[in-house]
């Protein structure tokens, strides 16, 4: 009954499509959700709901707060510089006077500044990313890093649409180790948008035919690229390329697992804040110049992506990175504060807490009437309560993992292969059978560090925020 009541509160919030205009009853629902979560924590023997959440996470409450503070310090000076750049740019266009930017100006002028610095026509860029070429480059990268070969296996298994392809993954000894479906194209009248990976059957010894060998895993990778036309192949945006690499990372964790117990094979049993490590790790390869240039070929001429466009594309990674990260840290910080220290009916309202947290995590002070919390569905109508920090935690893990390849020498083919096999035998193979911290230490030789993430985002040296 207790859980059902919390869920009914969640549904009420979701149904009403919360906006920045927060009605009193919405505030009361949020307060009631927080009150019930605190009661649940007490019943389970915890001091607060944040501790309950961390029971299924890699981090502890203290470690999550420590990471948030460290990243806030790392990106605060960069975010200040971002704001100054934006004000100068807007003033140069006679739009506002110095220091007169308002919250509602930021997105508009940020986009104009991005166009000025990284002028890339996304539609023209599509011509350089035909799906077939991207797939070829992705499979080649899989062989280089993890010692796998991927072959078409169409006809070996039934498919739900004629566009769906079936592939066999083999080790270098030509022995099948996994299979996957690839459903690449959008179908507006029967397929939801976005990209995802799901398990068809997982690796398992108990469920194998003879109970002595193991059942091979089968997954499906689903994307929503533009279908080919009569005169064009399927052409991708760079964001769609990132999504494909991301989802392939999830698929690898299912396909290359060594766990024979189904409950901890693949991504099963892996703590939530660690499960995105392989997917975000694969995204880093999209920003490697040699990887990018190997997959970016014009579908008609075979011409490589022009160098100036490649440079602009790579520069988009660090554009306003400090500001964007600080914005996410505000969400993570207020989430933990509400689930750790908020006292329902106490002196501070939920909005007072948001204002207090934002003074440390925002360059531009919030509007007094800001009611963002009424639309924070991740923590009130979804499953991220006291867990929004997971996004940043996984980013740190992935960046640090990628930096291991840099340290080995990205131009050293032997060292890259050795590091890739170590990544495969730890991060990809061990599933939920070992704690993610120990898995990371097995791969990296130490605990994770946020320094590589700071470097990849081009953040300035840390500046303490009081």
For the cut 80, the answer to whether the pLDDT of residue 464 exceeds it is no
Mean pLDDT of 248-264: 95
pLDDT digits (tens, 9 = 90+) for 41-52: 999 999 999 999
Q: In the prediction, which pLDDT does 22 show?
A: 59
Per-residue pLDDT reduced to its tens digit, 369-397: 888 899 899 999 888 999 999 999 999 99
On the CB side of 248, CA atoms within 13 Å amount to 27
Residues 241 and 252 sit within 8 Å (Cβ to Cβ): no
Q: What confidence category does residue 23 fall into, taking pLDDT thresholds of 50, 70 and 90?
A: low
Chain centroid, CA 352 distance in Å: 29
Tokens of 391: 């996004």
pLDDT for 52-74, tens place per residue?
A: 999 999 999 999 999 999 999 99
Annotated active-site positions, please?
247
Phi, psi of 196 (to 5 degrees): -160, 165
* pTM score, whole prediction: 0.89
Confidence (pLDDT) at 461: 57
Please give the pLDDT value at position 455. 93
Q: What is the mean pLDDT of the chain?
A: 90
Per-residue pLDDT averaged across 260-283, rounded? 94
Residue, of 256 and 23, whose pLDDT is higher:
256
pLDDT of residue 162: 94
Dihedral, CA of residue 45, residue 51, residue 56 and residue 58, to nearest 10 = -140
Q: What pLDDT, in 10s, does the model give residues 272-328?
A: 999 999 999 999 999 999 999 999 999 999 999 999 899 989 988 999 999 999 999
What's residue 234's pLDDT? 97
pLDDT at 10: 46
Out of 1-15, 109-123, 223-237, 401-415, which region has the weakest mean confidence (pLDDT)?
Answer: 1-15
Kindly indicate the confidence band of residue 9, based on its pLDDT and cuts at 50, 70 and 90.
very low
Q: What is the pLDDT of residues 154-180, one digit of tens each?
A: 999 999 999 999 999 999 999 999 999
pLDDT category of residue 96 using cuts at 50, 70 and 90: low
Would you tell me the crossing angle of helices 350-361 and 321-340 to the nearest 10 degrees?
140
Lowest model confidence (mean pLDDT) among 20-24, 133-137, 235-239: 20-24
* Residue (of 347, 365, 346) closest to 356 by Cα position: 365
pLDDT of 431 reads: 94
Could you tell me the CA-to-CA distances from 18 to 6, 22, 26, 337, 373 in Å, in that order?
A: 17, 7, 8, 21, 9
DSSP for 202-249 reads --BSTTSSSSSS-BPPEEEEEEEEPPP-SS---B--HHHHHHHHHHHH
Domains of the chain: 129-269 (3.40.390.10)
- Give residue 14's pLDDT band: very low, low, confident or very high (50, 70, 90): very low
pLDDT digits (tens, 9 = 90+) for 333-370: 999 999 999 998 888 899 999 999 999 888 988 888 88
Q: Is the pLDDT of residue 448 over 70?
A: yes
Q: Return the closest-CA partner of residue 39 out of 47, 27, 30.
A: 47
């Amino acid at each position: 009954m207790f859980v059902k009541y919390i869920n009914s509160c969640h549904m009420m919030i979701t149904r009403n499509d919360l906006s920045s205009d927060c009605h009193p009853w919405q505030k009361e629902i949020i307060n009631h959700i927080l009150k019930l979560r605190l009661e649940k924590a007490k019943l389970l023997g915890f001091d607060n709901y944040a501790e309950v959440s961390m029971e299924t996470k890699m981090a502890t409450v203290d470690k999550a707060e420590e990471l948030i503070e460290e990243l806030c310090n790392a990106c605060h000076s960069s975010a200040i510089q971002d704001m100054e750049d934006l004000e100068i740019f807007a003033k140069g266009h006679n739009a506002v006077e110095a220091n007169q930017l308002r919250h509602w100006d930021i997105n508009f002028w940020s986009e104009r500044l991005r166009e000025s610095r990284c002028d890339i026509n996304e539609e023209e860029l599509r011509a350089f990313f035909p799906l077939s070429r991207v797939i070829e480059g992705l499979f080649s990268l899989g062989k280089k890093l993890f010692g796998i070969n991927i072959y078409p296996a169409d006809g070996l298994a039934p498919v739900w649409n004629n566009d769906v392809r079936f592939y066999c993954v083999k080790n270098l000894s030509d022995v099948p180790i996994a299979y996957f479906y690839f459903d690449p194209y959008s179908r507006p009248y029967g397929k939801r948008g976005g990209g995802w990976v799901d398990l068809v059957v997982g690796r398992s010894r108990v469920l194998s035919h003879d109970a002595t060998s193991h059942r091979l895993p089968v997954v499906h990778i689903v994307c929503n690229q533009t279908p080919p036309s009569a005169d064009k192949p399927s052409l991708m945006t760079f964001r769609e390329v990132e999504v494909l690499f991301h989802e392939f990372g999830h698929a690898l964790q299912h396909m290359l697992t060594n766990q024979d117990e189904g409950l901890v094979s693949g991504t099963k049993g892996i703590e939530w804040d660690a499960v995105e490590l392989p997917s975000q790790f694969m995204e880093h390869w999209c920003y490697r110049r040699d990887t990018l240039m190997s997959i970016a070929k014009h579908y008609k001429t075979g011409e490589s992506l022009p160098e100036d466009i490649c440079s602009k594309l790579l520069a988009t990674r660090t554009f306003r990175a400090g500001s964007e990260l600080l914005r996410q840290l505000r969400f993570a910080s207020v989430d933990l504060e509400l689930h750790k220290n908020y006292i329902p009916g106490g002196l501070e309202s939920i909005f007072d807490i948001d204002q207090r947290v934002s003074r440390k995590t925002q360059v531009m002070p919030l509007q007094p009437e800001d009611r963002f919390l009424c639309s924070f569905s991740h923590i009130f109508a979804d499953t991220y309560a006291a867990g929004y920090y997971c996004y940043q935690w996984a980013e740190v893990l992935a960046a640090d993992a990628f930096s291991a390849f840099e340290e080995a020498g990205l131009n050293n083919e032997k060292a890259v292969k050795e590091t890739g096999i170590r990544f495969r035998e730890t991060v990809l193979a061990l599933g939920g059978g070992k704690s993610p911290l120990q898995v990371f230490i097995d791969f990296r030789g130490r605990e994770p560090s946020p320094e590589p993430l700071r470097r990849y985002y081009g953040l300035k040296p840390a500046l303490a925020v009081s």
